[in-house]
Structure 1
Amino acid sequence: MPKQELSKHELAKAYPYYLANKAVYANEDLEVINKYTQQLATKVAMADAAVIDKAIEYAEKAQSAMNKLPPYKRQAILEHCVEGFKKRFNELAHSLCIEAGKPIKDAKGEVTRLIDTFKIAAEESVRINGEVTNLEIAERAKGYTGMYKRVPIGPCSFISPFNFPLNLAAHKIAPAIAAGCSFVLKPASRTPIGALIIGEILAETDLPEGAFSILPCSRDGADLFTTDERFKLLSFTGSPDVGWKLKANAGKKPVVLELGGNAACVVDEDADLEDAIERIIFGAYYQSGQSCISVQRILIHESIYDEFKSRYVEKVKALVHGDPSSEDTFIGPMISEGEAKRLEKWIDNAVKAGANSLCGGKRDGAMLTACILENVPKNCEVNAEEAFGPVSVISKFSDYDEALKRVNDSQFGLQAGIFTRDIYKAHKAWDELHVGGVVIGDVPSWRVDNMPYGGVKESGLGREGIRYAIEDMTEIRLMVLRTPQ
């Protein structure tokens, strides 16, 4: 099928999957819904188990050629993608608006990060180095020299989520190419278009045949992504319930999991209130709170609590809800009406248990107005679980050490934010918080794409961020050289 010329507000009438680097219009079985209008937006080809098996076979065969692909060629492939994304910037952003319901400002931000992620990978692709190691630690090792290099781990299995359809797929695809690994990606069924556009641009490159496949498929038909021993690594981003089950079924292969969160922010008495409020509003409500590092729990020092609360509620009430394609919209729809109903119920449960609703929490289809709750009992879902929507919970504290303990009192441990000007308190948070990252002077929702990113506890295993992902996608191979004496 010839490439379709699209306006910036359109999707193609149908999309293929990518099998062994090639577009395949096998069927139109997957319907993609416009998350704001709830109307059919486009249709996508879905892979069955036989196709997935074939993709893994291709990836295994391609790995030898990937091993031999020199770093400068890997870099050129990644740079081609960067230029392709720039040329299709508006198309990519508007596809996010449609398939994910992402407000256009957030969508443009994600495309920018997609470009950054591939740029970083292009840079890292030519500096995957080794080391000469001193082995002469005893008389018996005299004359022995060690050196190691990193080699590709082999074919990789990737499963990406709905909330960042471009950049979270990029955080798997780009380091795999940089490291020299073939891969098969399963994008989220609700938001497959971004990954398929990445596939279209990858198909223009000189990657060896079979080096990549991008296969939308049903969850029931995707067992091979986890269980097949031809894969040498599984990288999954999504819910904890699914992630830990996949790990249990993954066999001998290493597993990287980027799972859920319940991110907390501490606002100490010396914080710049105006700055803290502006950043926390961004952190709690950008892309309708559908981020695993969205600000969910806000702990505010008692001396500034009333002022913070008053100003925070006023500003959250003023947020513009509605059509994500409008530049003025800050809060768009949640990914589905079912998810909006789930969070609406959690908010109602908290209020019934004694919480105060300060604003929002009203649902219309998949739209849920930005909500603030206070005095939420500890065990309510909206306080203890991952809300993954436009709600935040505020509470006061008097003792900083106690506030840190409350941050840690969670099954999750992804990132935390601390608003303080006290360097000793900043270091104490860094030392004592059981999270993957502590952000001082900003929200836990902040991420740049070259930093090590990931969590502990129920939030996952391993780290993303291109250099750190490359470490997972490569293995150390040692050579020992004996010089006869």
Structure 2
Amino acid sequence: MRQKLYIDGEWVDGEDFIAINKPYGMEKFAEIANASPEQVKRAINAAKQAQKTMKTMTNLERARILNQISVRLQERKIEAAEVIAMESGKPFKHALAEIERTIETYQFGAEEAKRLIGEMIPMDAALTGRGRVGYTIKEPIGTIGAITPFNFPQNLVAHKVAPAIAAGNSIVLKPATQTALSALLLAEIINQTDLPAGAFNVVTGNGTLVGDILVKSEEVDMITFTGSTVVGKSILKNAGLKKVSLELGSNAGVIITDGNNLERIAERCVSGAFSNQGQVCISLQRIYVLESLYSDFIRVFHEKTRELIIGDPLSPDTDVSAMITPKEQSRALEWIEEAQQYGAELVSGGIIEEEVLQPTILVNVPKKARLSCQEIFAPVVMVNKVSTLEQAIEEINDSIYGLQAGIFTQKISEAFYAQSHLEVGGVIINDIPTYRVDQMPYGGVKESGNTKEGIKYSIDEMTQSKLVVWNNS
């Protein structure tokens, strides 16, 4: 299956192509176009021209387009989930859940498009403000270059596309190479809507080439990127004065001080640590348990992990499958072995069987191990005991990242203490840090990024306020 680029409302042949293999089984199943520099620039120019039309459209017109996307994705949701499972290795039931969320994300975009308003300014609060009326209006920022990762190839794209359209911007999308088919399926859907030609473009291929052109182009007004901190820093360095929105890495942690609900807590922790093979920005990587609960938690957590079904992502029962590439699985295995060399103990997993890195639990992991201080992005989790809540919070804060953290507690005082002292962008009380719904503000501090996503909050990033002052005196 050979795929084309989507530029200015048309399907465009590539000059050469990149083979895409299934992560599970490594069977070749598609080829995507490798965009040339001229084709990337053509897409940017098309978006720049289409933005003039986008800016003149009413909020209602843009809302209707987003609803059209939602409806058409609903009609093709099984197909869309199967594409995700094939190209990324995400188990089908999780891929289907992603599509359901994506449908909802476009619905949120349609709703927020109708609420695109500025604010009144109390001019007469100033000595020289008598007789004047002031207000702000929100205008689209312009042409947006969106660079998206492989792990949520529909929903994380929707978190760029939906707010961009809602705000009246045009988009050039560079999806992750391995999961480009999901972006091209979205292009098929958008091609059937009333969105003006050129307002949405998909350029696939070499990430460095396409990304560099988007980042450095003076015709692109904003870059929105989800991915690694290393790449995010490079984008920030090379983007010039254009706006840059970054959602970056994490090594999310949870604290457990609640001993009455260990069965439920363990189930949630298994979900947080191993869903999508741990390839989630807020995947649960670090668990800190009060020492009085530690042994019981490890026992139950291990039991729940052993119940996971491992295998073909297209099977409806599969919970865990292959990571995105064999190279990434081998890297994760190196981190596991390194942690053991530093004194960590392996409770389960730690091996690759039938192409799949088995869900891995390590305990007593020292701080110098990469598993403790960096982002593994794999089905691997560490569990360490702590003596106090304060110690647990110190452990979580001892990180270059700060996306989300969770705490399970029955004491409101502990919840409020954690809320105040955890150095993260989001604190989840009585749940895992992997929890997210698509209208909430989502983003981190420190090296986890510089923005908030969630449709309303992304629209704020993708618009600029214009002040208008009337002198009526």
Both proteins in one fold, TM over 0.5: yes
Query: 1:306-352, CA deviations, whole angstroms, 9 ceiling, x for partnerless residues?
Result: 10011111221231111111122111100000000000011011111
In 2, the alpha carbon distance for the partners of 1:271 and 1:439 equals 18
Does structure 1 residue 139 correspond to structure 2 residue 166? no
Contact 2:68 2:193 (8 Å CA) reproduced: yes
Q: Which amino acid aligns with 1:196?
A: L
- Residue 84 of structure 1 and its aligned partner are, at CA, apart by 0.7
Which runs of at least 4 in structure 1 moved beyond 6 Å after TM superposition? none
CA contact (8 A) 1:27 1:44 kept: no
Equivalent runs, 1:14-53 vs 2, <5 Å: 14-27=2-15, 29-53=17-41
* Counterparts of 1:195 and 1:16, CA distance in 2: 11
> Per-residue CA shift, 1:365-394, capped at 9, x if unaligned?
741001100111111011111010011100
> What does residue 93 of structure 1 align with?
81
2:428 corresponds to which residue?
439
1:139 deviation in Å? 3.2
User: CA RMSD for the aligned pairs?
Assistant: 1.1
Q: Which residue of 1 aligns with 2:213?
A: 224
Q: Please give the alpha-carbon distance, in whole angstroms, between the structure 1 residues aligned to 2:381 and 2:466.
A: 48
Residue 230 of structure 2: aligned partner: 241
Q: Are 1:285 and 2:274 matched, yes or no?
A: yes
Q: Which residue of 2 aligns with 1:177?
A: 165
Which deviations, in whole Å up to 9, do the C-alpha atoms of 1:370-424 show, x marking residues without a partner? 1100111111011111010011100111111121111101111000011012112
Q: Which residue of structure 2 aligns with residue 294 of structure 1? A: 283
Q: Which residue of 1 aligns with 2:317?
A: 328
Within 2, Cα distance between the matches of 1:95 and 1:225? Answer: 26
> Does the 8 Å contact 1:23/1:200 carry over to 2?
no
- Counterpart of 2:466 in 1: which secondary structure? strand
Q: 2:186 aligns with which of 198, 201, 214?
A: 198
More deviation, 314-323/234-243: 314-323
Please state whether the residue corresponding to 1:216 is helix, strand or coil: coil
Q: Paired residue for 2:372?
A: 383
TM-score by length of 1: 0.96
Q: How many residues align?
A: 472
**Which residue number corresponds to residue 208 of structure 1?**
196
Paired letter, 2:249: G
Counterpart Cα distance in 2 of 1:272 and 1:325: 33
**Cα offset for 1:138?**
3.2
**Could you tell me how far apart the structure 2 residues matched to 1:320 and 1:40 are?**
25
**What's the secondary structure of 2:47's corresponding residue?**
helix
Kept after mapping to 2: 8 A contact 1:157/1:231: yes
Q: Deviations over 1:429-458 (max 9, x none)?
A: 111111110001110101000000011111
Contact 1:384 1:410 in 2 (8 A): yes
1:469 to partner: Cα distance: 0.3
The aligned residue for residue 302 of structure 2 is 313
| Cα separation, partners in 2 of 1:271 and 1:462, compared to 1, 3 Å | farther
1:54 and 2:42 aligned: yes
Instruction: Compute the displacement of 1:270 (Å).
Output: 4.3
Deviation at 1:283, TM superposition (A): 0.2
Q: Given the alignment of the two structures, is residue 167 of structure 1 paired with residue 168 of structure 2, yes or no?
A: no
Q: Is the 8 A contact 2:15 2:36 kept in 1?
A: no
TM-score (norm 2): 0.98
Identity over aligned residues, as a percent?
Answer: 40
Distance 1:180 1:446, change over 3 A: same
Aligned residue for 2:207, secondary structure, equals coil
Name the CA distance, whole Å, in 2 between partners of 1:351 and 1:339.
19
CA-CA distance at 1:28 after TM superposition: 5.7
8 Å CA contact 1:338–1:366 kept in 2: the answer is no
Shift in alpha-carbon separation, 1:216–1:365, aligned structure 2, 3 A = farther
Does residue 408 (structure 1) correspond to residue 397 (structure 2)? The answer is yes
Counterpart-to-counterpart distance in 1, 2:315 and 2:129: 69
Deviation at 1:31, TM superposition (A): 1.3
Equivalents in 1 of 2:277, 2:247: separation in Å? 20
Which residue of the partner structure matches residue 127 of structure 1?
Answer: 115
2:357 aligned residue (353, 368, 373) = 368
Q: Give 1:364 deviation, angstroms.
A: 3.8
Query: 3-state SS of the aligned residue for 1:191?
Result: helix
Answer yes or no: is the 8 Å Cα contact 1:261–1:293 preserved in 2: yes
Offset at 1:46?
2.3
CA distance in 1, matches of 2:353, 2:305: 18
CA contact (8 A) 1:32 1:41 kept: yes
Distance verdict in 2 for CA 1:241–1:271, change over 3 Å: farther
Structure 1 residue 271: Cα displacement? 4.9
Match of 1:106 among 80, 94, 100: 94
Unaligned runs of 5+ in 2: none
Unaligned runs of 5+ in 1: 1-12
Q: Which stretch shifts more, 269-278 or 422-431?
A: 269-278
Residues 28 and 115 of structure 1: CA distance in aligned 2, closer, same or farther (over 3 Å): farther
Provide Cα deviations, 1:98-150, integer angstroms capped at 9, x if missing partner.
00000011101100111010010011111111112111123322111101110
**Alignment partners' CA distance in 1, 2:437 and 2:258:** 28
Matched with 1:6 is none
Contact 1:336–1:366, Cα closer than 8 Å, also in 2: no
Distance in structure 2 (CA, Å) of the matches to 1:311 and 1:428: 27
Q: Is the 8 A contact 1:14 1:28 kept in 2?
A: no
- What CA distance in whole angstroms lies between the structure 2 residues aligned with 1:271 and 1:150? 50
Distance 2:38 2:376 in 1: 37
Q: For the residues of structure 1 that align with 2:194 and 2:113, how far apart are their CA atoms?
A: 16
